[in-house]
Amino acid sequence: MSNYLLSTYSRINLSFTHGKGAWLFTNNKKKYLDFASGIAVSCLGHSNPILLKALKSQSEKLWHTSNLYNIKEQERLAQELCNKSFADKVFFCNSGAEATEGLIKLARKYHHIKGDFLKKNIIVLDNAFHGRTITGIQAGSNSLHKEGFLAKENCSCGFIRVPLGDIEYLKSKININTAAIFFEPIQGEGGINVCPKNYLNQIRKICNQNNILMILDEVQCGIGRTGKVFAYEWWNVKPDMVGLAKGLGGGFPIGAILLKNKIAKCITPGSHGSTFGGNQLACAVSLAVMKEISKKKLLKNVLNLGIFLEKKINKILSNNTSVITEVFGKGLMLGVKCSVPNSDLAKILRKKGLLVVPASNNVIRLLPPLNITKKEAQKAIDIINEAVNDLK
């Protein structure tokens, strides 16, 4: 622990010297099965040889020149993301929070350029998390994240909050001031809340009817995490914009906004930007990530092992619900609802060598690398089973 670091996290007293695949190692040779993946970041595991090769090769050529010049790696990554999605254009940044920031700016600017000067409000959901910038905390629902940080306490600041799933209530909140509906198809920090069947389709329809934008935050649920390259594919809809980060770099910081041409038109040189966004090093690594996560075999692994884990956890809790009561999610983005404090379960799992991430609503998140093996999934199940037995 350091006296020199700002206390933004209540850190676990544990540090790692190296990692290999789904495993993390400490200097006293203890190893941990990593079902946290740095909060859904290390999507291809630690020290992945393909990513190492891409990083090493690019690092010996060129790291950064700035967006004052053409960047071939960035152009290739943008093309790859567009080919794989609904998007016509891409903007690169460095994190999920920056993606949120850009998405909200673009939504407002889109209407502004069209002369719709009233359309500024963004509809967001309960339990939402969109990052820690001023805009991100306004869009998010956690009051602890906002307290003391806003220009005006309890300010809705142009964000209208609705409960997830209640389409009629959402409709009742739409008016001439509504610019966009912005949400996570599967809420991560909020507790692995999967939007119901047809929810995205209904929102698409509402957006079309009211000339408002449908914007998705796939910072946590995107890039293969659910068994599809993008989570929205599960609903078979096309959004207007999507924010990405986390898994997009497999551990190297990068964020992105995917968008349609109709929105891209509102931006002219100088109106938005980023110094680091999409530099050579980040894009070279991300290109390697995209190539890997687009492979059918990998996506199938995510689906199969997701189903495997869900089945096995259901079996554990079917015998006893005094520790865990439910498992839900999609692919390798799973939530386990706890009946003991989730931090207690996370602690005992950690003691037994399994790393997980707590989330809101007393849930623990299982977010392993997407390329884990069945043997590793079974190992996690054995540890969960033991921990549940110890706690009951």
Ligand X SMILES: Cc1ncc(COP(=O)(O)O)c(C=O)c1O
Question: SS3 of 105, please?
Answer: helix
Which among 35, 91, 92, 129 is annotated as catalytic? 129
State yes or no: residue 162 binds ligand X (CB under 6 A).
no
Measured CA to CA, the distance from residue 279 to residue 70 in angstroms comes to 10
39/160 with CB nearer ligand X: 39
State yes or no: residue 97 binds ligand X (CB under 6 A).
yes
Of 38, 188, 239, 251, the one binding ligand X by CB under 6 A = 188
209-245: string of b/e by CB count within 10 Å (b at 16+)?
eeebbbbbbbbbbbbbbbbbbbbbbbbebebbbbbbb
150/340 with CB nearer ligand X: 150
Q: Find tokens 């551990």 and name the residue.
A: 251
261-292: string of b/e by CB count within 10 Å (b at 16+)?
eebbebbeeeebebebbbbbbbbbbbbbbbeb
Helical residues (DSSP H) of 60-198, grouped into ranges: 72-83, 96-113, 134-139, 143-146, 167-172
Contact between residue 333 and residue 367 where contact means Cβ atoms under 8 Å apart? yes
Measured CA to CA, the distance from residue 385 to residue 374 in angstroms comes to 16
State yes or no: residue 217 binds ligand X (CB under 6 A).
yes
Q: How many CA atoms lie within 13 A of 52 on its CB side?
A: 8
State yes or no: residue 227 binds ligand X (CB under 6 A).
no
Query: Which residues inside 337-366 make contact with ligand X, applying CB under 6 A?
Result: none
Helical residues (DSSP H) of 254-364, grouped into ranges: 261-264, 280-293, 296-319, 342-351
Which among 246, 252, 330, 337 is annotated as catalytic? 246
Measured CA to CA, the distance from residue 108 to residue 150 in angstroms comes to 20
The Cα-based distances of 205 to 219, 232, 303 in angstroms read: 23, 15, 29
Give the residue among 361, 378, 233, 299 at the shortest CA–CA distance from 43: 299
Measured CA to CA, the distance from residue 332 to residue 197 in angstroms comes to 19
* Region near ligand X per CB under 6 A, out of 80-88, 92-100, 326-334, 336-344: 92-100
Closest separation between CB of residue 49 and ligand X, Å? 25
Give yes or no: 246 in active site: yes
State yes or no: residue 220 binds ligand X (CB under 6 A).
yes
Which among 34, 183, 217, 337 is annotated as catalytic? 217
Give yes or no: 149 in active site: no
97/258 with CB nearer ligand X: 97
Q: Find tokens 């502004």 and name the residue.
A: 112
Binding string, 313-342, against ligand X, x = CB under 6 A?
------------------------------
Of 21, 38, 45, 96, the one binding ligand X by CB under 6 A = 96
Closest separation between CB of residue 128 and ligand X, Å? 8
129/159 with CB nearer ligand X: 129
Contact between residue 338 and residue 362 where contact means Cβ atoms under 8 Å apart? yes
> How many CB atoms lie under 10 A from the CB of residue 354?
24
Give yes or no: 129 in active site: yes
Binding string, 123-152, against ligand X, x = CB under 6 A?
------xxx---------------------
342/376 with CB nearer ligand X: 342
Q: How many CA atoms lie within 13 A of 338 on its CB side?
A: 26
Closest separation between CB of residue 127 and ligand X, Å? 11
* Region near ligand X per CB under 6 A, out of 66-74, 184-192, 203-211, 292-300: 184-192
State yes or no: residue 95 binds ligand X (CB under 6 A).
yes
Closest separation between CB of residue 385 and ligand X, Å? 28
State yes or no: residue 282 binds ligand X (CB under 6 A).
no
State yes or no: residue 219 binds ligand X (CB under 6 A).
yes
Whose CB is nearest to ligand X? 96
Measured CA to CA, the distance from residue 224 to residue 333 in angstroms comes to 10
State yes or no: residue 101 binds ligand X (CB under 6 A).
no
Please tell me the count of residues contacting ligand X according to CB under 6 A: 15
> Which amino acids are annotated catalytic?
129, 217, 246
Which residues make up the interface to ligand X (CB under 6 A)?
39, 95-97, 100, 129-131, 184, 188-189, 217, 219-220, 245
